[in-house]
Amino acid sequence: MLTVKAVQPKKEPTSNSGGANQDGEPLLPRGLAHDMINLEMESSLVGDPGRKHQAAAKPKSLLVIPVGIKNKEVVDKLVSKFHADDFTIMLFHYDGAVEQWGNMEWSERAVHMSAKGQTKWWFAKRFLQLDVVAEYNYIFVWDKDIEVDAFDPVQYLDVVRSTSRELTFDVPPFVLV
C-alpha cells in the first residue's frame, strides 16, 4: 500500500531554487528524476525483490475517489468494478482514516492520499498533475455516492473509444462522475 499524507511544509531558507547546485550540476543523481511519472508500484519495492518489474501490456486508466471511512462498503463495491489489469486506483482520504482500508482485497494496489478536511478538488489540484496523469488513457474522478450496479467501465470505455476516434487529446480526458 502506498500512502501519502499531506503535511504543512516547514519554511526553511533555500539558497538554490533551480534544482541545481552553484556549478549548475543537478542536485539528484542521473536517472532518479524523470519528466513523467506514474502511480504504478514497482515490484522490487513492495515485496519480492527477485521478481522483475513487468511493463503493462496496455496502458491503464486511473480511478480517483474521494473517500471517508463511513463509505467503505460503497467504495468497495465501486472499486471491484474497476479491474487491476485496466485501472490504477487512487483514494483521497478526506477523513485521515487510511489504515482502516487495509482489509479490502484491493487496498494493497491502491494509492492512498490523506489530508483531513480537504475537498476532492484540493486533492486533485495537488496530486493529479500533468506529469502523473499523462501516463493514463482516461482519468475517472468518481464521487463515492454514484451507484455502479449496472456499470461496466471497460464496456463504457469501449463505447467512448468507438465514438470519439476523431478526437485527439494532449492530456488524458477526465471522466467526472
In a domain, 82, yes or no: yes
**Tally of domains in the chain:** 1
pTM over 0.85: no
CA neighbor of 81 nearest in space, from 102, 65, 99, 98? 65
**Residue bearing the bigger pLDDT, 43 or 144:** 144
In a domain, 29, yes or no: no
Reported as a single tens digit per residue, the pLDDT across 28-72 is 665 555 555 555 655 555 555 544 444 444 568 999 999 999 999
Task: Answer yes or no: are the C-beta atoms of 25 and 33 closer than 8 Å.
Answer: no
In a domain, 89, yes or no: yes
Reported as a single tens digit per residue, the pLDDT across 166-175 is 555 555 666 6
- Which pLDDT score is estimated for 91? 94
CATH classification at residue 83: 3.40.50
In a domain, 131, yes or no: yes
Amino acid type, 89: I
Residue 119 backbone dihedrals phi, psi, to 5 degrees: -90, 165
Which range of residues forms the domain containing residue 147?
Answer: 56-176
In a domain, 163, yes or no: yes
Q: Express as a percent the part of the chain with pLDDT over 90.
A: 29
Cα 52 to Cα 43: distance, rounded to the nearest angstrom: 7
Q: Express as a percent the part of the chain with pLDDT over 70.
A: 59
